[in-house]
Structure 1
Amino acid sequence: MIMQVPFVDFSWQHEPIQSEIDQAIAQVVQRGDFILGQTVAQFEQAFAQASGVEYGVGVGCGTDAIALGLQACGIGPGDEVIVPVNTFIATVIGVLRTGAKPVFVDCDPATALIDLEQAPRVVTAQTKALIAVHLYGQMVSPQQLREFTTAHGLLLFEDAAQAHLAQREGHRAGSLGVAAGYSFYPSKNLGGFGDGGIVLTNDQTLAQKVRCYRNYGASQKYVHTELGTNSRLDSLQAAILEVKLPHLQEWNLARNQAAGQYDEALKPLADYGIFPFRNDGGPGHIYHLYVIRVTSESPLTRDNLQKALGERGIQTGIHYPIPCHLQPAYQYLGYHTGDFPHAETLAQEILSLPMFPGLSEAQVQQVVETIKSVIQGD
């Protein structure tokens, strides 16, 4: 019988702690503090501490974390923000919501992370910040980020939506820049049972600004000192996340170990033009996603391989099929096909394989053996 492998399976995570989650939810219901309650404050402090940062401010989603975090940093109309073109569109939306202009930079094809060697070309007098996207769970080099932003006098903001407790060069994700934005979308390494996000920062004043922005711009009840919005982490979501947080390092380690198994098993497929991305973060890479490249050397295109795997019970994904600069809604930014060749090539090659805590070695082998069988035409 052929083993089917899901893209994500939450049962390994949730079943052992289900009673704790139920109890945490019940306590919120009993207290009735559903909006900005006790549990939100507890989780904000716990997640900030786990990330090596002083302050956490829970918001409604990861996109709001970027937008409100940048707004609190003083980013606004007339400013330019450097953004990797190879990212989820939420990064771009976060910039646009401040009134600033996103300025794209291509990626390193070996890691899919921003190519900081190309970034100096786009710096202008209007450039105020760089967003480092720690894509797929791997951090951008802290040393290179700090060297670049210091040399050009730029704010460093981290999009760590896929990098909960990731590490590199002795630094945790979220602790490098003036602020960082996270998502707690259910499929994240630390995910809720709905939307949620958080802004991390070591700047007390900045944290207070985000608290104000998230709650209608109110510095105190019914006193609206800022142009704010309604974006608050629900107490129920915070309760769930607080239960899950102590297990996160274990879950991240399980992902990293599964990725190591993938790396080893996939080595023979390099002869068929299939390669994983390079891991420059070692055990600090938390593998929110495990992504391979199906290059032009492969006998099958990425799309044909994905279809064949699906027919054989192997679920996969594509993160992401259209680079940000080619998305229809953002054509007004003035970019065209050919502007960012690495990102455009990767968009045709990338395939995300099953990855979740509890993914067994047998499942990894099944995925790779199925790829090999499809590629070889068996």
Structure 2
Amino acid sequence: MANLNQLFNKRLHKLLKEVGKYGRLIFNDHFSIVLFVLLGFLALFYKDLLQRLSFNESPPFAWLIPFALALFFVLILNLGHPFWLNQEADRSYLFSRGKDWFKYWRKAFFYTASIQAGMTLLISFVMYPLVSITSNWNKGEGILFCVLLVFLKVLSIFNQYLNLYHQSNKYLDRASVKQINYIFGIFIGFSLYIKNPYHKILMLVATGLYLIVIHLRYRALVNNLIDFEYVIQQSQSNKSRFYKWISIFADVPHLRPEVKERKWLNPVIRVIQGKNPNRYSYFFARLITRHEAYSGIWLRITLFVLIIIFLLSNHWIVITLVGGLGFWLVLVQILPIFQFRSKMPFQQLYPLQDIKLKKEALQKMLLSILSMMMLVFLVFLLVKVGFSTTLLAALGGWLIIIFALVYVYVPFLLAKYEKDHQKTSL
């Protein structure tokens, strides 16, 4: 293509179209509700933490909060990669254009820096109230802190941009990119502990030093040749990383989920299929424990809900709702297992389909998975609050939610699915 800017715009448009397509699949009705509820719980926890710290009701670990914030901001600096948007075919057909590609990559840097700077600004703005309460940064210095953090993020992206050159300086090579961020994370950490006005001076000095380091690296690399193989490799890594994240929430046609035996989940198989397994219970038991797309769902959500329960207050209603939300999210995400492989010739022809038996096997599998999740929640809650009314109330609430989901909500969804399927087949 004669104009590399047009090529970049075309590929960027294709990427945005792909993001939009999978975004609509991920943020469906169910997941949108769950996301808003979870954001609401996190907002309540954050508000409660700020109020406790403001009124000097500091938890025992309060002195660690600035350290945790410094680690968080270092993570922000290290997250993200430039949108190179190169493809395998570029190696053969287009890389002969040589340094003409810099126009293409500068545009990639501009879009990457703009998006990630905006996200960093939003995150730092949300986190700054916690920074101002737990450190010597006051409310009036919030703009300065956020601007400096955004500037450091842009410098970090530019530092990654310099990786496209062949590396000739062993001290400022590609491996140094993250190491530099870690070093300047130490400066951020110290600025959260030292007194006024030295915290501002330290952050300004750190930003100036970062700028000098980037300038020195640029001067050392600017006359080197372009490492086209590295750019191709990074583009493919970014692409595979994107689809790997998408595959957690939606089916990606060209990615095949891993299927492997997890021996530590074999007891779960025996619980699900029971003493007298039928073809459906046998199939569901292995699918839910060995198929990465399904086993990953309930295992990750269990871990996520445990973290939320740990962060929330000990009020039994809130804990019950969070656990119930986890049960519902797992059920909705793994319910398509009912139709998995149902159109294979073997499933259609031999033996004949027994829909009633299949529904019973599905309900037994869901009841087993949700019950095991509940047991994990109860053990964790027992450690947190002890044997108390909170524990008993949460147990009662979770039992009601599980039985309502499995024996009321699931039949309703399956009936709705069959009705929609009949309409589409007419």
Structure 2 length normalisation: TM-score?
Answer: 0.23
More strand as a share of residues = 1
Q: Bigger radius of gyration, 1 or 2?
A: 2
